[in-house]
Structure 1
Amino acid sequence: MNHAMATPTGNAAAKITRLPFLPLASSAVAKPRNSSRANFYKEVLESARDKFTRAISFQSKDKDISLAKALHYVAAEDEAYLAYNREIDAFALQNERSDTSSPHDAQGFEAVENMPMDGKNMNEWLVEIDAIAKEVEAELVSRDIGCHLAEVLEAVNKVLFETRGFKRSHVVVDSKCLYLHSVLSSGSASAILLSVIYIEVCRRLNLTIVGSRVGDEFLIWPPTGNPEELFKVTSGRSLFGIVNGKCVDDPRSKASDINSSSLLGLEIATNRDIIGIALANLIRFYWKRASKTNYGLMLTSPLRSAHRSEEKFSKDNCSEMPLLRPQELRLAIMASERLLILQPHSWALRRDYGMMLYYNREYEAAVQELSICMAFAPEEESEVLEPFVEKLHLMRLEKSWKSSLGQKGRLTVT
């Protein structure tokens, strides 16, 4: 057991890296019993994960990845998970109350792309982005102007922020700001999803927009060989300000410090990076929701406790763990799984994923993920992980032992 828990090196590390990196998406749900609708949503959930994985495949060129499609698959999986839970609850209620009407059969749609989300399916939401681009084209025609960069961007801003009423939510308190279809429906968006819509609309207008993370903001701009033109002030605003809105005028924001020189030093985000930022936002949001009654609870808190020799880490800590909201915790875990598909060798992401599994009392999976993490983590981080993983391994064995005793029933003497 000690050998299994030791920090792997050499051949041992190679063996660990061949372990499956992620559990199947179906692990997010329990096995349904007799609900055909629940079975249906379980299939949709699995299909959404599979299609997301293919959409961001590393065999594809980054420029060929559709931000809108990938993020719609993210939303479809989470929507299917929530719908699955609602069906299980309805089925349980039906069994408890004989007078409750039976849930009607699932609507017949054959693919995840056809599952309704906020009244439209995925293909219809993609068409919605097409419609926004056509409104921009109509705005340009009505102005009777040429396709100069500044005029095109002003037209995009007019349609998005005046006609359509999109607005950036600096403090996200509603999950609707974190899913692309909800943003298209409500108009309220996180900075990254507002940027995604901007990028997707401009792409349909044959205008390239790039972006980079700056502090808490995600800034976008059209690439140009003369970055100074982005910062020339005309009509009270610079072109950079027109694209990024009020955040560049806010002295509290790091975006206000960006100029033509520092812009060249920013690392351009790839499409995979942008999807990763959106997923990281989901993880933070749902973890905060899950741990709402435990203000300030951090994923890594148990690691530090286990590492301190003067503080005993009990095998029975599983019964003393803080109470977390299970549905929000599972949504955070699902977002973490998808982010690990994008960044499979990030030890920090794998550590956080393993800790979420621990909080969800999935000890066997947590041991596996944290052991893999130890193969990639810096030595000082691995030393912090090792005692926790050893204790967690004991907790897993104890849980398995108690489970096997429960299945065998009462012992008899012959």
Structure 2
Amino acid sequence: MLCASLPGLDGGAVKASSAAMAPLDIYSRCGFDGSIGCWIGNGKGKWNKLAAATTKAPMKRRFNISPMASSALAESRCTSRAKFYQEVLNDAREKFTQEISFQSKDRDISLAKALLYVASEDEAFMAFNREMDAYSLQSERRSASLPSDATEWTCVEAMPLAGKNMNEWMLELDVIAREVEAELVSREIGCDLAEVLDAVNMVLFKSRGFKRSSVLVDSKCAYLHSVLSSGYCSAILLSVVYIEVCRKLNLTIVGSRVGEDFLIWPQTGNPEELFKVISGHSLFGIVNGKCVDDPRSRASDINSNSLPGLELATKRDIIGIALANLMRLHWKRASRANHGLMLTSPLRSVDHADDKSNCLNVPLLRPQDLRLAIMASERLLILQPHNWALRRDHGMMLYYSREYEEAVQELSICMAFAPEEAAEVLEPFVEKLHLLRVESSWKERPFNSFLNCL
């Protein structure tokens, strides 16, 4: 069944925006200056400074060095790796923004490439955290051998994702398309629409074993490279795979939001043929599985007369759905220890607080998942800069991340776009958050001044 959960998405047309990323020094449990546990750094770097690892890897040796020398060497390597990953993150975000640019026509956007850039950025962030954890463990174990230098890449497309680089994952879609062609050749038939769709279904769901997850709880279902590797996927990514494979077969697949579902079907000037019963099923039903047979779904009411009236989703819309699902997934994982916590929970009680204590009671969340959710919402805001509800949620996540200055800025912008009632709810919270930001800056100043003197 090809359907996607869509709450919180703005159904209106999306508009262009520049890709303004948050400073990347706050992207990790460790500072991007390389100092483990210290959240400082300028977050700047240019990709042309990357150096590929072209020399043969040195033989592994065990060194016996003093704890002070070991710590200094580890910090130097941390700084180098932090700078490298900073550049990877910048490059992945920049190329994602270029791919979905509103200066490009929708037909020129590659769904697969855009979503693989998303996966590359998130994987680079998680890889940096893993390396910093390893360096931290090494620092604790003074006698541990120093690890060899990790591999670097000349471009984000060369970064490994589950054993393959981005270009190899793009080729995987070509391989699936060739398998469909081989299936058609074995049947010795022409290019009848019904037979082509049946061959696509045969390869995807039987040969490859693609299966839709009914509930999105595993991050592997939310990234395209993981989906192509395991076959276990969210509804929207299954739709993306279906669309991309059919595109390589010169068959255009379109889609639309219908209630909480996302339906796809072959583009045709004769919609009646999609609902013509063939071997007990209509083509529309074959492509969308059991989605159109669910009496609880609005999709079950779709017929050849109502189908032309549906608003077709653009490729930017489809990417937005995938990002919205990714944001919700990581938020749920980040707040797992706080049962029932919602992004807007602090807004409900702020009017009943006599001081700013309500803002101070920020629950502890999983930092990595929270940052991944923020990264997903940043990309969504590139697609939907005037979606006030999305910007509110983004600002609240920054608040939970204790980035008070950025949270005040985003929530203030949100109030300018939000309906009057929503703005009135946000105003007292933003005022108290502003006071908290000022107080926090005064508390941090002596410590920062000390750091600057080092």
TM-score by length of 2: 0.82
1:74 shift after superposition: 0.2
Unaligned runs of 5+ in 2: 1-16, 36-75
The alignment partner of 2:343 has SS state of: coil
- Which segment is superposed worse, 196-205 or 375-384? 375-384
Alpha-carbon displacement from aligned partner over 1:65-98 (angstroms, at most 9, x marks no partner) = 0000000000000000000101111111222211
- Which segment is superposed worse, 64-73 or 265-274? 265-274
Correspondences of 1:284-363 after superposition (within 5 Å): 284-306=328-350, 308=351, 311-312=352-353, 314-363=355-404
Correspondences of 1:4-403 after superposition (within 5 Å): 22-25=21-24, 27-29=26-28, 30-31=31-32, 32-33=34-35, 34=76, 35=78, 36-306=80-350, 308=351, 311-312=352-353, 314-403=355-444
The residue type equivalent to 1:335 in the other structure is A
The alignment partner of 1:260 has SS state of: coil
Given that 2:24 and 2:86 are in contact with CA atoms closer than 8 Å, whether structure 1 keeps it comes out as no
1:24 shift after superposition: 4.4
Given that 2:359 and 2:433 are in contact with CA atoms closer than 8 Å, whether structure 1 keeps it comes out as no
Number of residue-to-residue matches in the alignment: 389
**Number of the residue aligned with 1:13:** none
Q: Percent identity?
A: 72
1:21 shift after superposition: 5.2
In 1, distance between residues paired with 2:203 and 2:234? Answer: 18
In 1, distance between residues paired with 2:339 and 2:171? Answer: 41
Given that 2:346 and 2:359 are in contact with CA atoms closer than 8 Å, whether structure 1 keeps it comes out as no
1:257 shift after superposition: 2.1
In 1, distance between residues paired with 2:285 and 2:102? Answer: 34
Alpha-carbon displacement from aligned partner over 1:154-182 (angstroms, at most 9, x marks no partner) = 11111101111101111112111000000
The alignment partner of 2:305 has SS state of: helix
Unaligned runs of 5+ in 1: 1-17, 410-414
Given that 1:25 and 1:49 are in contact with CA atoms closer than 8 Å, whether structure 2 keeps it comes out as no
1:215 shift after superposition: 3.0
1:39 shift after superposition: 3.2
TM-score by length of 1: 0.90
In 1, distance between residues paired with 2:430 and 2:93? Answer: 29
| Structure that is richer in helix per residue | 1
Given that 2:239 and 2:264 are in contact with CA atoms closer than 8 Å, whether structure 1 keeps it comes out as yes
The residue type equivalent to 1:253 in the other structure is S
Inter-CA distance 147–26: structure 2 relative to 1 (3 Å threshold): farther
- Coordinate RMSD, CA, aligned: 1.8
Alpha-carbon displacement from aligned partner over 1:84-131 (angstroms, at most 9, x marks no partner) = 101111111222211222232121421111111111111000000000
Alpha-carbon displacement from aligned partner over 1:308-344 (angstroms, at most 9, x marks no partner) = 3xx1153244542222111111100000001001111
The residue type equivalent to 2:22 in the other structure is P
The structure showing larger relative contact order (alpha-carbon pairs under 8 Å, at least 6 residues apart) is: 2
